[in-house]
Amino acid sequence: MSRGRGTEHTADMPEEGADAAPGLAVAKASGAEGGGGFEDAIPTPGMGDADAVADVPAAHGVVGVVLAGGLSTRLGQDKTRLHLHGEAAPDMLARTAALLRSVTGEVWISCRGGRPCPVATTGVDGPYYRLNDEVEGMGPFGGVITALRVAQGPVLVLSCDLPFMERAVLERLLARRAVRRPGTVMTTFRQTETGFIESLVAVYEFEALPLFRQALEDGERKLSRVVPPDLREHIPYSVQDALPFFNINYPADLEMARRIIGSL
């Protein structure tokens, strides 16, 4: 899909009758000069050395999508603007986009259409593209289904509220996707002790789109329920390796994240 370099443009859409999302605007946002660049993102602890993956080339067939459309109502402040690793370091949105940029050939920022998407003030070393949800009020589900419709290919989605996520985890995800079982349309992590799947750290294949459309028709918005288990490729991890998946929803989560960072 060819994309121009203008400050704002309409995404190249498939022909009439395909899985198009008419009227979707995808806007490029170049970063402001100065500030903390993505390359300054601080490495964080995560899956142990045994789980580390050797350096792999960027997955240019996969679009990286930062899920940044939440209202942060439970936290009480915009989580995308948090500078947890120091004021001079990238904020959460910039850090997340940097991680995706390190393993994919292109990165989009998924936003709610009714609120500004703060991509131009994060030190973005772009270009990045703003992708507004086709239908608002559906949470991450809306961001993923819109991304699949526009990308017409696989997308690696990553929530913007994971302060301890690291590149090695994403490399492991992409490496597992490359050898996934035939017919699987989602590759993700699953916690061994609980069976919980990390639906906001996952690769969704374009072939998952019919499942999303069916879920939309059925009123199902929970990402972990869209793709049935037999169509998912799971990477097991234990609670001891769960730090990269720690996310910030409440003030208590933010305080805990700061304490962890302070102890490193």
- Tokens 């169509």 belong to 231
Q: Does 50 have pLDDT greater than 60? A: no
Average pLDDT over residues 10-18: 33
Which residues on neighbouring strands pair with residue 237, listed in sequence order? Answer: 191
Which pLDDT score, from 0 to 100, does residue 83 have? 66
Range of the domain at 214: 24-32+60-263
- 12 within a domain of the structure (yes/no): no
- 206 within a domain of the structure (yes/no): yes
- 11 within a domain of the structure (yes/no): no
Average pLDDT over residues 193-204: 97
Average pLDDT over residues 38-49: 29
Element at 233 (helix H, strand E) = strand 232-237
Overall domain count for the chain: 1
Of 169 and 9, which is predicted with more confidence?
A: 169
Order the strands of the 186-191 sheet from edge to edge: 9-10, 25-29, 128-132, 104-111, 59-67, 155-159, 197-204, 186-191, 232-237
Which pLDDT score, from 0 to 100, does residue 243 have? 94
Which residues on neighbouring strands pair with residue 155, listed in sequence order? Answer: 63, 204
Which pLDDT score, from 0 to 100, does residue 143 have? 92
Which pLDDT score, from 0 to 100, does residue 164 have? 92
Q: Does 183 have pLDDT greater than 50? A: yes
- 227 within a domain of the structure (yes/no): yes
% of residues, the chain, pLDDT over 90:
44
Which pLDDT score, from 0 to 100, does residue 59 have? 64
**Distance (Å, rounded) from C-alpha 226 to C-alpha 138?**
13
- 37 within a domain of the structure (yes/no): no
Q: Exposed (0-12), middle (13-18) or buried (19+): which is 170, by Cβ within 10 Å?
A: buried
* pLDDT tens column, 77-122: 567 666 666 666 677 888 889 899 999 978 999 887 655 555 554 4
Q: What is the CATH number of the domain that holds 121?
A: 3.90.550.10
- 52 within a domain of the structure (yes/no): no
**Distance (Å, rounded) from C-alpha 247 to C-alpha 70?**
13
Give the dihedral sign, CA 51/55/57/62: positive
* Whether the model pTM is above 0.85: no
